[in-house]
Structure formats: C-alpha cells, structure tokens
Amino acid sequence: MDGVDYPAVNNGDGTWTLADNTLPALTDGPHTITVTATDAAGNAGTDTAVVTIDTTAPNAPVLDPINATDPVSGTAEPGSTVTVSFPDGTTATVVAGTDGSWSVPNPGNLVDGDTVTATATDPAGNISLPGTGTVSADITPPVVALDDVLTNDSTPALTGTVNDPTATVVVNVDGVDYPAVNNGDGTWT
C-alpha cells in the first residue's frame, strides 16, 4: 500500500486477512492498494484498488424557505443522503443531486413557527451538523408598483399599488429611503 509491503495471511479458504493494526493510520484522501498472491510454483496474481479515506463531515444542509404545503427543499453536499426531520417525529430521506439540490414531500401538517431540520450524510458515513428552517405561513413577497409620474413639480406626490394591506412600503429616491403609507386598500402614498 502506498509503496510499502505488508504481509497478509492466506486463510486457505479463498480469503486472506491482514491483521488488525498492521497498517498505519491512513490520512484523508486516496490510497493505492495492491494485493499479490504467489503460489508454490512462483506464479503471482495481483489486483489493485484505490481506498479513499474521508473523515470530514459535510457542511450542514441549507433549507429553502418553508411553508405549510410546498415540498421542503434545499442544498447539501452533492451525492450526500439528506435526512429531513419534521416536528411530528417523521423523517424523509433523499440523495442530493450533482448540483447539491434536494427536495422531499411536505408532510402537510406543518404550521407557522414549526422548525424543520436536515442533516447530510456523505458516502463515507460522515454526518453533518443539522441545518434548520422555520415554517412561515407567508413566504410570498408583496407585489408593489410605482405609478409613472411626469410633472414640473420638484416635490411630486408618489403613489402606487401594493397587494398586501399589511406590508411596509419604503420609497427610495437617489439612495435615500422614505417611509410611505400603506392605505390598506391596495394603494400606497
């Protein structure tokens, strides 16, 4: 292994064994292993494989905004197995795609304020810290519009529409924020 020979025991039943603690502790990364068996006539057969050591846990998954009905989704280490845990104790498992994206069905019983957690387990078995997301009843941003104004008044009254009667409306003019009034009827002034 890695250019060093280690004697193994032929078990006589078609298997061989390398005694525990014979190898030094292997560092993270790939290691080339070559096994050679030599018979009484001096004929040698070999096989080579790469053993990759990975002791590093993946980063915690990132959860997209969660609501009560849409699938729960996010990103994690590509190829890792993502386990999503819901407040009722149920779990859902999925393998993250090559781009790291993943999605599981929403259980349908999530309510505003619930916490959903997800962990990622890489192919070597390392488990990430949990990523968390909080269920929000409202994850849709309000739609706001500014009415066109053509005037000779240097302090024009600005108005527009907003589809959320509780949204805070702020008007930015040349980098300066000014609070506007949401009239609660679909308009702001």
Identify the pLDDT of residue 164.
Answer: 87
Where do the domains of the chain lie?
A: 9-53, 62-134, 144-188
> Rounded to a whole number, what is the distance in angstroms from the first to the last CA of the chain?
75
pLDDT average per 10 residues of sequence, the chain (189 residues) = 81 86 85 90 93 94 93 97 97 98 95 95 97 84 88 88 91 91 92
Phi-psi region of 107 (alpha: psi -120 to 50; beta: other; left: phi over 0): alpha
Q: Provide CATH code, domain 62-134.
A: 2.60.40.10
Q: Quote the pLDDT of residue 1.
A: 67
* Residue 75, pLDDT score: 98
Please state the φ and ψ torsions of residue 61, each to the nearest 5 degrees.
-60, 150
Q: Which residues pair with 118 in a beta bridge?
A: 84, 131
Compute the distance between CA of residue 148 and CA of residue 169 in angstroms, rounded to an integer.
17
* The predicted structure's pLDDT at residue 71: 96
Q: Are strands 81-85 and 72-75 parallel, antiparallel or unpaired?
A: unpaired
